Structure 1
């Protein structure tokens, strides 16, 4: 065995591989700056309104109602990647907000939302899909015929509107094809529902404009009901695509593929209407079943007389709504209204 002496400098070399001071420290590949959760304040950010979303790019209106009003295209900041940004959002932008061709701003903050209209894929899906933000009215568009009006789909819209704190409006189109009275009779007990009727010979533009000015209104409806036609009449330069109804299936073809916010103008001022793609279903999986009754204000008033904990289902004892229907106090549509309520309650109960 060989012994090494510490007195000889050359003899110290075999110990070098055990000397911690001689170990080469690799630099931190991520940098030496400590990590922090502190984000920039972006005090120079400008405020804008999101008009539309297309494949990760956002069309934003800046300096709204000012002489310098213009549109810019923006992307989202990395810190917002988990937060949905939708049409109607008020956002803060930084970067190049000039709107010049080829420029791209960056959305760094989402403003506080007053309302959120949401839906789910179906009633069992609890994952919500945000449709629009900050709308205070919902214009429900249905056709008197071709395609046939769907009462239960309108009920779903009403539930979603009342759940979000949005006031509903109802417009029945194609009244030249069929009498809308039998359909409208189903909603005769709703005091908070403003109703319009429309036909090619008479589109109630003045009446609708009066309701839209000063508001942000989201237009919803089944494919083929004439929603985009109505929007084009309200906003002549909208140029929203118009489809047709299949004569065999009676179904409309999806034409509007994106949600777009459009300005409505009149002598009384301006408003915004948000056109959404036509749908054939509207899931309410995100809605608390306890709030479903709010979508049936006529039945909700009667439900105040129900015993505590009443489920309002067919087997519920002493349900005041069922008793009122039996006595005929809710009119000829009372039974259908109760049936629609019970179907929704059962669907959301899983």
Structure 2
């Protein structure tokens, strides 16, 4: 006769023994209080190059590292300050683990196009965006420059417009478009060490972390090689058929600038590959208006959902009443140009 349910007790339950040496899982993460910190200067196929500054008895050194499993898919880009454990000696054939990414002061982002919801972080921690454009061969692309300026404002970075090949075309007419934006600029031919534009550029880069962006063929790699001769970045020519440059730089790379006039710190430049487009899907139009202090308060009377580039926009009256200052009209025109660049309506 079988046993009824009331006859069973805990002594009848068989317990499978656990594995020897197994430990219960825990959500507590190691603190890595002994982590060594440095700046990411290059990324290549799952390996990060990190510059660790000198400290105590340790000299400055370059460490190769991988991302620790505990970070998952955490983004780590050039300019990030990271903490590492393991072999951080920098000796050949050694590999450390990145276990921590410090908060970023600035983030330069882009999307593949204006409909792509996925943001791509290009560089972290930079404070200046250097937009490089040729005055000729190839012709300037104002729409791309406008988009880079929007990205700079969004990232909280100071923009600087550098016009190359100044020996081929004058800069005055082109620069008139950007005068209302108060974007600092300089022109250079990058022909020799005596070039005044190159000397001025060195001064503006000194002591800062600057990102260089520009489409292919504008002379960006030539500029980098003039600033940091040992960089040896590949250079290329403009295609005679398409009028576009060929990609030469293929990766993001941080390069230390030589000290200027005896200063202890020369600063850094971060070279990026030539770009064909600069998507701004992550930037809302109202954010762009916020970068124009003299216009920002004028949007309070705009109708709901105003694009700030339509007949009912309150900014026209704001400017007409002189509330935006003597240059209000020019500033409003520039704002709307950036908004059209953001939306793609300028073609």
For the superposition of Structure 1 and Structure 2, which TM-score range results when normalised by the shorter chain?
Answer: 0.7 to 0.9
Q: 2:7 aligned with 1:52, yes or no?
A: no
Q: Stretches of 4+ moved more than 3 A in 1?
A: 18-32, 64-67, 302-307, 321-324, 329-339, 344-348
Bigger Cα Rg: 1
1:198 paired with 2:188, answer yes
Please give the residue correspondences for 1:4-43 in structure 2 after superposition, counting only pairs within 5 Å: 21=11, 25-28=15-18, 32-43=22-33
TM-score where L is the length of structure 2 = 0.84
Q: In the alignment, which residue of structure 2 is the partner of 1:14?
A: none
Matches within 5 A, 1:29-178: 32-64=22-54, 68-178=59-169
- How many pairs does the alignment contain? 326
Residue 13 of structure 1 corresponds to none
Deviates more, 1:32-41 or 1:86-95: 32-41
- More displaced, 315-324 or 274-283? 315-324
Cα distance in 2 for residues equivalent to 1:187 and 1:235 = 29
* 1:275 pairs with one of 263, 268, 271: 271
CA separation of 1:160 and 1:171: change in aligned 2, threshold 3 A: same
Is this contact kept in 1: 2:165–2:190, CA < 8 A?
Answer: yes
Alpha-carbon deviations, 1:92-149, whole Å to 9, x = none?
1100011111110000001121101000111111211000110000111000011111
The CA distance in 2 between the partners of 1:114 and 1:135, in whole Å, is 8
* SS of equivalent to 1:204: helix
Gaps of 5+ in 2: 321-325
Q: Secondary structure at the match of 1:146?
A: coil
Match in the other structure for 2:310: 314
Q: TM-score, normalised by structure 1?
A: 0.84
User: Could you list the runs of 5+ residues in structure 1 that have no partner in the other structure?
Assistant: 7-17
| Alignment root-mean-square deviation, CA | 2.9
